[in-house]
């Protein structure tokens, strides 16, 4: 289990949110951050926690069970957050690459984009692995062309796997970590002060990554 203080992937004066678009716990944390009016004050870091999920087609039975179990857990823990289990648990690579690039190149546009991608998947059931869906969202939000970096995503995922291995996660500039999905009040407290480590909440891990 990670220690209470974690090495940051890069220096930051903002709280870092480590996340993946196909994680329902991460979606819920993003909704809470939006509700608190703090979306523009955090720096989102996208990683791939289940890179073997398909870009199209059906899930295997085990993944289907896991998806519905996690969605049901979120619905119980955060009934105020609208979440619907998508038909397919899809690969997030393209969406995470896009978001990471926008976080770097156009940070003023990043909060709206990440919430739009999350909601397109967890509310509307759109396939965020589809280039057409991502292009439509980018056009809707007037996101300019960006340069995506697969190697950078691999580096971030490797850092996450060895330093944290749990999403969602929030990291203070000091490296103090808030692991997993806590309750709304704990999230608010960490965003406001980040002065103490919290207990570990439920979240997603790197079960599909190669050792």
Q: What is the pLDDT of residue 33?
A: 97
Q: How confident is the model at residue 193 (pLDDT cuts 50, 70, 90)?
A: confident
Q: Which of 4-8, 75-79, 126-130, 198-202 has the lowest mean pLDDT?
A: 198-202
For residues 129 and 90, the answer to whether their CB atoms sit within 8 Å is yes
Whether the Cβ atoms of residue 49 and residue 208 lie closer than 8 Å to each other: yes
Using CA atoms, how far apart are residues 25 and 140, in angstroms rounded to an integer? 26
What is the pLDDT averaged over residues 104-127?
98
Q: How confident is the model at residue 2 (pLDDT cuts 50, 70, 90)?
A: very low
Quote the CA–CA distance of 112 and 141 in Å, as a whole number: 8
Q: Is the pLDDT of residue 202 over 80?
A: no
What pLDDT, in 10s, does the model give residues 83-98?
999 999 999 999 999 9
pLDDT at 37: 95
> Quick one: pLDDT at residue 203?
60
| Each residue's pLDDT tens digit, 7-20 | 999 999 999 999 99
Distance CA 48, CA 159 (A): 11
Mean pLDDT (the chain) is: 91
pLDDT category, 34, cuts 50, 70, 90? very high
Q: Is the pLDDT of residue 179 over 50?
A: yes
The SS3 call for residue 156 is helix
- Using the predicted structure, report yes or no on whether residue 82 has a pLDDT greater than 50: yes
Among the listed residues 114, 118, 67, 116, the one whose alpha carbon sits nearest the alpha carbon of residue 88: 67
> Which residue matches tokens 């003023």?
108
Order the strands of the 42-46 sheet from edge to edge: 42-46, 15-19, 169-171, 177-179
- Does 199 score more than 80 pLDDT? no
Q: How far apart are CA 157 and CA 8, in angstroms?
A: 13
Residue showing tokens 């806590």: 182
pTM of this prediction?
0.90
* pLDDT greater than 70 at residue 117: yes
**Cα separation of 98 and 200, whole Å?**
29
Q: Write out pLDDT tens, residues 167-178.
A: 999 999 999 999
Q: What percent of the chain has pLDDT over 70?
A: 90
């Amino acid at each position: 289990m990670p220690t209470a203080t974690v090495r940051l992937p890069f220096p930051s004066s903002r709280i870092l949110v480590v996340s993946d678009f196909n994680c329902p716990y991460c979606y819920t944390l993003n909704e809470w951050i939006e509700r608190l009016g703090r979306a523009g004050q955090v720096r989102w870091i996208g990683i791939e926690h289940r890179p073997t999920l398909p870009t199209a087609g059906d899930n295997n039975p085990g993944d289907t069970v896991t998806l519905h179990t996690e969605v049901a857990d979120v619905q119980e823990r955060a009934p105020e957050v609208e979440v619907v289990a998508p038909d397919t648990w899809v690969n997030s690579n393209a969406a995470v690459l896009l978001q990471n690039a926008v976080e770097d190149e156009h940070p003023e546009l990043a909060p709206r984009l990440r919430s739009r991608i999350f909601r397109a998947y967890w509310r509307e059931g759109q396939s965020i692995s589809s280039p057409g869906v991502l292009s439509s969202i980018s056009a809707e939000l007037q996101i300019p062309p960006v340069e995506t970096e697969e190697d950078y995503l691999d580096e971030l995922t490797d850092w996450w796997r060895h330093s944290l291995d749990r999403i969602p996660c929030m990291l203070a500039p000091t490296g103090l970590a808030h692991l997993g999905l806590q309750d709304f009040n704990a999230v608010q407290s960490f965003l406001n002060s980040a002065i103490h480590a919290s207990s570990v909440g439920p979240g997603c891990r790197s079960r599909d990554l190669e050792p």
